Amino acid sequence: MNGWSAEPDDKPVGGVVLVHEFFGVNGDMRQIAERYAEDGYLTVVPALFDKIQREVELGYAPEDILLGSRLATEIGLETAAELVATTVDAIAHAGNVAIVGYGWGGAVALRAAQTLSAPCIVYGGVHDVFWPCEQSSIPILVHSSNDALGRESLLREKVLNLNVLTYPVESGFYRVSDAQRHQSECADLALRKSLEFLRAHIRGKAH
């Protein structure tokens, strides 16, 4: 499995596994990874579709959505989450590791976080995940949007350390290259909140 790695200038203060949307490791995901690295985190975006199709890098046209959705269905949530867990182990030398997922990758991130008890940040994807019956104290930050209201209701019941932030925009607002969806003000705010979350839960903390 290949992927994209963004390294900080100095010794990492922690690690981030960034889980891509079903558009693959495209330019937007790489740019976001670089931003986390700028804040001191060794950041890796595993190419989850490599098991079935290598070098997937899609845009946001209807045909890209169809292909990405097919690939996500083919690999499945459980296999993708296992690959994320493998990546978390691979960068454990950087310190504590958080999982950050976008869109479909948000569902994958949540599934992996359940197994690893790792702090998790989610941009969408919450409605796709079945959460176990037991309650959890894993710290989770959800960035939600107008077209996803209420999808985190199950998490509210099961996750004790949950923070949901809702933005007056549609999902995908963080995609810089998606002219129809990108909303820079909300994207910048969400990133600031994500970095605050990482500083609180993994930055410089002992294993």
Torsional class of 128: left (φ above 0), alpha (ψ -120 to 50), beta (otherwise): alpha
Q: Which residue, among 45, 46, 11, 32, has the nearest Cα to 203 in the 3D structure?
A: 11
Task: Say if CB 41 and CB 14 are below 8 A apart.
Answer: yes
For residues 65-71, give the mean pLDDT: 96
Residue 166 CA, distance from chain mean position: 16
What is the model's pLDDT at position 86? 97
For residues 20-45, give the mean pLDDT: 96
Averaged pLDDT of the chain:
89
pLDDT at residue 189 above 60?
yes
What's the fold here for domain 3-201?
Answer: Rossmann fold (3.40.50)
- Structural element, H or E, at residue 6: strand 3-6
pLDDT at residue 92 above 90?
yes
What is the model's pLDDT at position 132? 63
For residues 147-171, give the mean pLDDT: 77
Show me where the domains of the chain are located: 3-201
- The verdict on pTM exceeding 0.75 is yes
What is the model's pLDDT at position 148? 61
pLDDT at residue 76 above 70?
yes
What is the model's pLDDT at position 144? 86
Rounded Cα–Cα distance for residues 155 and 152 (Å): 5
